[in-house]
């Protein structure tokens, strides 16, 4: 397992949930929810610099059947722009099937009311995503998901 802090990023149309790992790559914890808009990449870059991350894992929304739709296209575009912004820090895409569902179930089980979940569900989804990435790397010895090529361009999002 590589040493170093990683960020997990759960991209939504309105908010971006952010989580980070400890330096040993064992545990993911929530960081914050970033509002989507003109300063979202700048805020993520500031968080990445603050924690001196070695890698960023962005969730790739995939349907249960394995199809990738509009949400996946938006996540890929966002990941590419983030990769350009953070270079040379690598950005990777990881299948995030059911991370938001898992986050909502966990919050419900913890007694968080549905109307109060909006503030934290994106962060919890980022934690679920990042923990899956950490566990995958620990089990396989390889970085999780697939690398994003910053030279591929990002397009509007």
Q: Which domains are assigned to the chain?
A: 6-147 (3.30.420.140)
Share of the chain above pLDDT 70, in %: 78
Distance, CA of 143 to chain centre: 14
Please, which pLDDT band fits residue 121 given cuts at 50, 70 and 90?
confident
86-125 core/surface letters (b: 16 or more CB in 10 A; e: else): beebbbbbbbbbebbebbbebbeeeebeeeebeebbbbbb
For residue 153, the model assigns a pLDDT of 58
Instruction: Note the pLDDT of residue 156.
Output: 46
pTM listed for this prediction: 0.85
CA angle 122, 130, 141 (to 5 degrees): 170
pLDDT digits (tens, 9 = 90+) for 52-75: 999 999 999 876 666 667 888 999
- Helix or strand (DSSP H, E) at 94: strand 91-95
pLDDT at 113: 61
Q: Across the chain, what does the average pLDDT equal? A: 86
């Amino acid at each position: 397992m590589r040493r170093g802090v990683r960020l997990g990023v759960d991209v939504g149309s309105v908010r971006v949930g952010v989580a980070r790992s400890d330096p040993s790559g064992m545990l993911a914890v929530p960081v914050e929810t970033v509002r989507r808009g003109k300063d979202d990449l700048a805020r993520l870059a500031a968080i990445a610099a603050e924690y001196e991350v070695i890698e960023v894992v962005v969730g790739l929304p995939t349907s249960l059947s394995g199809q990738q739709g509009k949400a996946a296209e938006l996540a890929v575009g966002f990941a590419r722009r983030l990769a350009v912004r953070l270079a040379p820090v690598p950005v990777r895409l990881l299948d995030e099937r059911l991370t938001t569902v898992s986050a909502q179930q966990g919050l419900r089980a913890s007694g968080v009311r549905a109307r109060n979940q909006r503030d934290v569900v994106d962060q919890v989804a980022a934690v679920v995503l990042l923990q899956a990435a950490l566990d995958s790397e620990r089990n396989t010895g390889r970085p999780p998901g697939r690398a994003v090529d910053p030279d591929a361009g990002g397009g509007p999002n």
